[in-house]
Amino acid sequence: MTIHAALLLTLLQAGMAADPSMAPTCSATPAPPPAGMEGWSKAQSIKGGANPAQATLLPIGSGVTATLLKTPKVDYAVRPEKPGGSVSSGGMFAFVVPAAGRYRIALGSGAWVDVLSGTTPAVSVSHGHGPDCTGIRKMVDFDLQPGRYLLQIAGNAGATLPLMVARLP
């Protein structure tokens, strides 16, 4: 294959991936979430906190639909790398890790996430898209030790966000 043919093939594949008509057709009933994330389908409504002291506690393994605040109303513990503009939304959440392991943050949008221990950011070990037709758009994994963590959500386009923290096997 020539370089020109390979480049053309790459550009065509990229164009197809960006073309909404190439997206999977989903039924009105969402597909089941992946193993270990069954709680995604049973989301409870909560409100995001405006600062670390008001961070809303997230139960591990349970999905939530979070009502977020406009970005200017959120006082983040650490400035998010991608905070979004004044018309975007965000919020502060907390979760408690009972045992060391890999934990996944699943989102229904492409919002920015930071997981903090105090003001120290945790480093993600993987990230990707959720399975088609589940409502999970983004998944970010972290290797965490026992303790309390802050979850900062930033740059969300809408005022609500499906969200879940799950321990991976």
Report the chain's mean pLDDT, rounded to a whole number. 87
37 pLDDT tier (thresholds 50, 70, 90) = confident
94 within 8 A of 148, measured Cβ to Cβ: yes
State pLDDT tens for residues 126-146: 999 988 988 899 999 999 999
Q: pTM of this prediction? A: 0.82
Fold of 28-167: Jelly Rolls (2.60.120)
Task: Output the CA–CA distances (angstroms, integers) from residue 73 to 50, 64, 69, 70, 137, in the order listed.
Answer: 6, 21, 6, 6, 25
Question: Which residue stretches of the chain are H helix?
Answer: 3-18
